A and B are shown apart, each in its own frame.
Chain A
């Protein structure tokens, strides 16, 4: 299928001007309703995805296969195949759980909190960030699920009335996690889907085959685009945003409770809830960046996900990176200030003990590496931001590893100290979870509207705001931005 957009060459246009007299354009080329629909739909309507998509899919499926094999072997053998040994009874599984839940925070932050803050630039990235959120939460939910060992008793996690009168421990934050994460999953899914309905209807209307018409038609829920439907849609979206906003904070706060309600030095500290939330947003944005950079190139969307969008995300990473750095420093200071020798030891041990290599990896990746974003040329250089985003992903995984391993391996009783070494099954399961994540993401890119077309259109200058006779407040015409009309 030949699309109209394919004739236009998409170029990288610098729209990162900071001139306070005018707001820069967010869509740099073909900034009109029709071309936006064309370029987003082209991804799903093309007869074949780009070759690189097949390569990525191939790798992802291999990794997913590895995940399936590792989980199968785990269920067959039991958690003994992992490197868990007392005193470190929480190893990779919990680290990976927190890592993936954290990544799942950017989507809802972008679609809910940035929506409430009227950040128009979020419209180009919110859809696939939300999709990423859902896939990350799926990966996250899997780890505690398989960690319980006897997966056939999974339903014991839920408070189901039973003849043994056996109930889960309501005072345990692990149970609160079950509720928090499943609520988050439900609301995120709902948010993602509700936002997608108008775009699914667009796909349905453009369908050339019966199958596509029926499939997109079912999920478009009879959307006709009447003003009454739009009105209700926008009310629903606002309410969902308001409901999702506290969830962005609550989920990772409760995840942090898993550690902080204990009395283990290095785990029990009051700053954990906001610190974990900041870290989650930090890692989530890094993952959005890691995915957005190849995706915009692969699917020809550089004019919709522009340099300005990427620059804004880099700024958020710089801010949240420093929030995390703030938490690290305050923890360290209070560990000394508290005058509690166990507390002080835990932190000295983190920085200079057997896990010092992990600690300094974490500090360099999370606190030092984003500092390059103080420079505009780094914020607008694609290779630099791609590398930094991957470093942040690594650093944030190590953050959770440091918290789990360093505190558990050396607790109050020196005779029981140990050193946690993961086995190959730990590593393979973790690597496999990336396969699952990427497979789902690639399928999403290929078959669903990966950019919220309707929302992007609403931030175009011509979207109905005409004060002062053709003069747009805060927007400039494409010509002024040095762009030639297609």
Chain B
């Protein structure tokens, strides 16, 4: 173990960067949303299409935020020392579940477009849907969503707030209180994330079911947080922040987790596909059949190679993990693939139960990009807001010195 990095002369706050970032990202976000609304009303079937694009990007940024919350929880639970210098960032990303709550309103407005099970007409003619009606109905859906966001926002706000308190008080008891909260917190997190993934993504085809689906969404969620972390770090570093506190040793560990979660995602994705393909039961294969029909097959191959094989080869070595300028491009690649994964999860049902639909075509649209910029811009602006008045590392954490001295020995 080396001496702890000297951070006395270090720039550990966003300072002037915060208003700049909030202005720019917020501007892009608003612009994106305005363009989306305009496109929605100007194109044919635009409103339905816009809600779908919004859904993909909402789930995308929600998954990153939940990944941040999970990272914070698991660091507390395992009493990790190495990660203290990046924990403030994960706390802030997790706290972005609060902005996701606000951004959830359009989903509620578009429920009829997004969730065909809300249709009374379908309910009348579909015995399967009638069976599921005690679960798949609008009031219960709303109650569940309230519970999900209650758990996520409550937990992440608690963890951020206590950690900020500790910056001032340096009280080690706060660490214990966060550790204590993390154990039941993780259970609540697991349950809410699972059912949220069922509700937001799996129920889009309400006939389909898969017990592993929650784990699949979790894998992508944690993966995407491990991928956005190097991006944030590179941004901060190139703006002169945290030059000494976060070192190659920390990138190395972030890279290892990124690599591991990427393999874990592939493992879960393979397990789901293999079992359904092998058993070949029509009630399960329909969902995959849509994804291997026509152009969707190309997208499925793109995931196989782009989401697993290529980053697997790229991240397996030591060098690409220890150099931020090599790690970040791979992280961006993984983030792009994670987006494609969510698109692949949510979008094929766009044509489901639509008369005369062009089956097998991918409905790419400018709306995918504009809603991405819209939600993403606001997401980044709020992230900067959390960090505006505070240090970028948990100053009062009793394990900060350990993290600053951390070495992959």
* Chain B interface, >50% SS class: helix
CB atoms of A473 and B401 under 8 A apart: yes
CB atoms of A467 and B1 under 8 A apart: yes
Looking at the complex, which one of B4, B81, B271, B276 makes contact with A274 (CB distance below 8 Å)?
B271
Residues of A within 8 A of B135 (CB): 337
Per the bound structure, the CA–CA distance linking A268 and B256 in Å amounts to 33
21 contacts between A and B (CB under 8 A): A20-B175, A20-B179, A23-B402, A253-B267, A257-B274, A257-B275, A261-B274, A269-B211, A269-B275, A270-B271, A270-B276, A271-B212, A272-B275, A273-B212, A274-B212, A326-B190, A331-B211, A334-B209, A338-B283, A467-B4, A474-B81
Check A330 for interface membership: any CB of B closer than 8 A.
yes
Per the bound structure, the CA–CA distance linking A246 and B266 in Å amounts to 12
Residues of A that sit less than 8 Å from B by CB:
18-21, 23, 116, 118, 246, 249, 253, 257, 260-263, 268-274, 322, 326-327, 330-331, 334, 337-340, 374, 465, 467-468, 473-474
CB atoms of A20 and B176 under 8 A apart: yes
Looking at the complex, which one of A18, A118, A273, A331 makes contact with B271 (CB distance below 8 Å)?
A273
Residues of B that sit less than 8 Å from A by CB:
1-4, 79, 81-82, 128, 131-132, 135, 172, 175-176, 179, 183, 187, 190-191, 194, 198, 207, 209-215, 256, 263, 267-268, 271-272, 274-276, 278-279, 281, 283, 397-399, 401-402, 405
CB atoms of B275 and A18 under 8 A apart: no
Per the bound structure, the CA–CA distance linking A337 and B117 in Å amounts to 13
Q: A337-B209, A473-B402 in contact; A261/B275 too (CB < 8 A)? A: yes
Q: A261-B275, A338-B283 in contact; A270/B212 too (CB < 8 A)? A: yes
CB atoms of A21 and B187 under 8 A apart: no
**Which single residue of chain A is at the shortest CB-CB distance from B79?**
A20
CB atoms of B405 and A473 under 8 A apart: yes
Residues of A within 8 A of B281 (CB): 263, 268
Looking at the complex, which one of B132, B256, B263, B401 makes contact with A339 (CB distance below 8 Å)?
B132
**Which single residue of chain B is at the shortest CB-CB distance from A323?**
B190
CB atoms of A473 and B1 under 8 A apart: yes
Per the bound structure, the CA–CA distance linking A399 and B18 in Å amounts to 54
CB atoms of A21 and B398 under 8 A apart: yes
The 7 closest A-B pairs by CB, nearest first: A271-B211, A270-B212, A273-B271, A20-B175, A339-B131, A261-B278, A20-B398
**Which single residue of chain B is at the shortest CB-CB distance from A253?**
B271
CB atoms of A271 and B1 under 8 A apart: no
CB atoms of B211 and A334 under 8 A apart: yes
Per the bound structure, the CA–CA distance linking A327 and B214 in Å amounts to 11
Q: A18-B176, A339-B128, A467-B2 in contact; A270/B283 too (CB < 8 A)? A: no
Given A337-B198, A374-B183, 20 more A-B residue pairs with CB atoms under 8 Å apart are A18-B79, A116-B256, A253-B271, A260-B279, A261-B279, A262-B279, A270-B212, A270-B271, A272-B271, A274-B268, A326-B194, A327-B211, A331-B211, A338-B209, A339-B131, A339-B132, A339-B207, A340-B283, A473-B402, A473-B405
CB atoms of B190 and A474 under 8 A apart: no
Residues of B within 8 A of A274 (CB): 212, 215, 267-268, 271
**Most chain A beta-carbon contacts within 10 A, residue among B213, B214, B279, B397:** B279
Residues of B within 8 A of A246 (CB): 263
CB atoms of B275 and A467 under 8 A apart: no
Per the bound structure, the CA–CA distance linking A474 and B4 in Å amounts to 12
**Most chain B beta-carbon contacts within 10 A, residue among A246, A326, A331:** A326
Q: A261-B275, A270-B272, A473-B401 in contact; A465/B215 too (CB < 8 A)? A: no
Per the bound structure, the CA–CA distance linking A261 and B273 in Å amounts to 11
**Which single residue of chain A is at the shortest CB-CB distance from B268?**
A274
Residues of B within 8 A of A473 (CB): 1, 4, 401-402, 405
CB atoms of A270 and B275 under 8 A apart: yes
Per the bound structure, the CA–CA distance linking A272 and B267 in Å amounts to 12
Looking at the complex, which one of A20, A23, A330, A339 makes contact with B211 (CB distance below 8 Å)?
A330
Residues of B within 8 A of A338 (CB): 209, 283
Residues of A within 8 A of B194 (CB): 326, 330
Residues of B within 8 A of A118 (CB): 82
CB atoms of B271 and A20 under 8 A apart: no
Per the bound structure, the CA–CA distance linking A374 and B1 in Å amounts to 34
Q: How far is the CB of A65 from chain B (nearest CB, A)?
A: 42
Residues of B within 8 A of A260 (CB): 275, 279
Q: How far is the CB of B159 from chain A (nearest CB, A)?
A: 15
Residues of A within 8 A of B279 (CB): 260-263, 268
Residues of B within 8 A of A331 (CB): 211
Per the bound structure, the CA–CA distance linking A257 and B273 in Å amounts to 12
Looking at the complex, which one of B132, B176, B209, B402 makes contact with A474 (CB distance below 8 Å)?
B402
Q: How far is the CB of A83 from chain B (nearest CB, A)?
A: 28
CB atoms of B187 and A322 under 8 A apart: yes
Residues of B within 8 A of A270 (CB): 210-213, 271-272, 275-276
Q: How far is the CB of A75 from chain B (nearest CB, A)?
A: 33
CB atoms of B209 and A465 under 8 A apart: no
**Which single residue of chain B is at the shortest CB-CB distance from A269?**
B211
Q: How far is the CB of A205 from chain B (nearest CB, A)?
A: 27
Per the bound structure, the CA–CA distance linking A118 and B212 in Å amounts to 29
Residues of A within 8 A of B2 (CB): 467
CB atoms of B190 and A337 under 8 A apart: no
**Which single residue of chain A is at the shortest CB-CB distance from B280?**
A263
**Which single residue of chain B is at the shortest CB-CB distance from A273?**
B271
CB atoms of A268 and B275 under 8 A apart: yes
Q: How far is the CB of B41 from chain A (nearest CB, A)?
A: 36
Residues of B within 8 A of A19 (CB): 172
Per the bound structure, the CA–CA distance linking A466 and B401 in Å amounts to 14
Per the bound structure, the CA–CA distance linking A467 and B404 in Å amounts to 12
Q: How far is the CB of B182 from chain A (nearest CB, A)?
A: 12
Q: How far is the CB of A360 from chain B (nearest CB, A)?
A: 21
Per the bound structure, the CA–CA distance linking A148 and B244 in Å amounts to 63
Residues of B within 8 A of A271 (CB): 211-212, 215
